[in-house]
């Protein structure tokens, strides 16, 4: 175990590594069960409870081939507020809106914005590009219904974590390419931006740090179906031909994260394309621990940085 890790998550990491060694090769079925079990058992220990909000409601919105749920967090009654469209992580195969309920509550209350958490359809049952199309459809529907929902359409941002950060920045790409909603910001926490798995940290940190290379290979294969699609810009935004014209971004990376290098590379490419980027690198953290706000002061500071960045972007608006 690397000595530079934050000390408090080390027992959790050691236990998870021991379980993984005994469980054999990963499968979506097992990882879904593990994810639900860990969320129930460990969530109260490492995650904050989430702030109180005035209203929480679900909307079902039409997408190609069906409908998806979007959960709305309203921090206080009345008024017109900016909107954050949020995408949970889980390798495109795991997770649901309940998984990140606490984060959405805290962002809604901290920023004083409406948060819309998108329950996009998961792989392998719904392969690429279903999730990215769901994400863009949700963004477009929310902005189209801004008057009904109390949203300021000139103050809309996207954000997400890991695979969800991929979906967030791809939604921004689609909005640019399709003449969709104009966005003022994107919050990209430990983003997965290169599904070719070719970045050095995937190999350097691919075992022993909770998220493994074997899991990334499984997730990418289940999501893409055809590995040749990994080179498409809407699958791997790091490989997109043109990143100009995207909204300013906050990009967070973690020191002991297999996705560390592609997050840093994506931030560099955005900067090279003329997109303002704020970088935050979490020393001593693994992929998941940026969210351990109950356990780690540095995770609480990360949340404060997100709130400050979003609040500033919403104050500026489109104009």
The structure tokens listed for 211 are: 């998220």
**Backbone phi and psi for residue 184, each to the nearest 5 degrees, phi listed first:** -105, -15
- In 3D, which of 11, 27, 156 has the Cα closest to residue 94? 27
Cβ(148)–Cβ(91) below 8 Å: no
SS3 string of 192-221? CCCCCCCCHHHHHCCCCCCCCHHHHHHHHH
Annotation says 257 is catalytic: yes
Annotation says 244 is catalytic: no
Out of 162, 201, 236, 289, the active site residue is: 162
> Residue 108 region, left (φ>0) first, then alpha (ψ -120 to 50), else beta?
alpha
Half-sphere exposure of 173 (CA within 13 A, CB side): 23
Cβ(180)–Cβ(147) below 8 Å: no
Residue 90: C-alpha distances to residues 151, 256, 295 (Å)? 28, 18, 21
Annotation says 162 is catalytic: yes
Instruction: Round to whole Å and give the CA distance between 132 and 230.
Output: 13
Out of 119, 189, 257, 261, the active site residue is: 257
Can you list the alpha helix ranges (DSSP code H) found in 24-78? 28-46
Out of 117, 194, 236, 287, the active site residue is: 287
Instruction: Round to whole Å and give the CA distance between 125 and 81.
Output: 35
Locate the DSSP E strands across the chain. 55-63, 66-74, 81-87, 114-119, 151-161, 185-189, 249-256, 277-286
- Please give the positions annotated as active site: 162, 257, 287
């Amino acid at each position: 175990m690397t000595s530079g890790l934050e000390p408090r998550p080390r027992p959790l990491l050691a236990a998870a590594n021991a379980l993984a060694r005994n469980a054999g090769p990963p499968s979506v079925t097992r990882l879904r069960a593990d994810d639900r079990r860990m969320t129930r058992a460990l969530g109260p220990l490492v995650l904050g409870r989430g702030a109180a909000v005035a209203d929480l409601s679900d909307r079902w919105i039409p997408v190609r081939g069906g409908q998806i749920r979007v959960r709305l967090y309203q921090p206080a009654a009345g008024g017109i507020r900016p909107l954050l469209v949020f995408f949970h992580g889980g390798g495109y195969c795991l997770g649901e809106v309940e998984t990140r309920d606490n984060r959405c509550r805290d962002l809604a209350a901290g920023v004083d914005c409406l948060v819309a958490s998108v329950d996009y359809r998961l792989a392998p049952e719904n392969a690429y590009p279903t999730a990215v199309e769901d994400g863009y459809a949700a963004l477009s529907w929310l902005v189209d219904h801004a008057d009904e929902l109390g949203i300021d359409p000139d103050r809309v941002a996207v954000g997400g974590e890991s695979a969800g950060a991929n979906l967030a920045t791809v939604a921004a790409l689609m909005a640019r390419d399709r003449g969709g909603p104009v966005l003022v910001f994107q919050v990209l926490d430990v983003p997965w931006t290169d599904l070719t798995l070719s970045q050095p940290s995937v190999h350097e940190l691919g075992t022993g740090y909770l998220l493994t290379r074997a899991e990334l290979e499984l997730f990418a294969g289940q999501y893409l179906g055809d590995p040749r699609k990994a080179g498409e810009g809407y699958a791997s935004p790091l490989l997109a031909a043109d990143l100009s014209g995207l909204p300013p971004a906050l990009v967070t990376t973690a020191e002991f994260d297999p996705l560390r290098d592609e997050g840093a590379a994506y931030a560099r490419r955005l900067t090279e394309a003329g997109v303002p980027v704020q970088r935050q690198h979490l020393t001593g953290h693994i992929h998941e621990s940026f969210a351990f706000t109950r356990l780690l002061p540095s995770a609480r500071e990360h949340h404060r940085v997100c709130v400050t960045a979003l609040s500033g972007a919403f104050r500026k608006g489109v104009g």
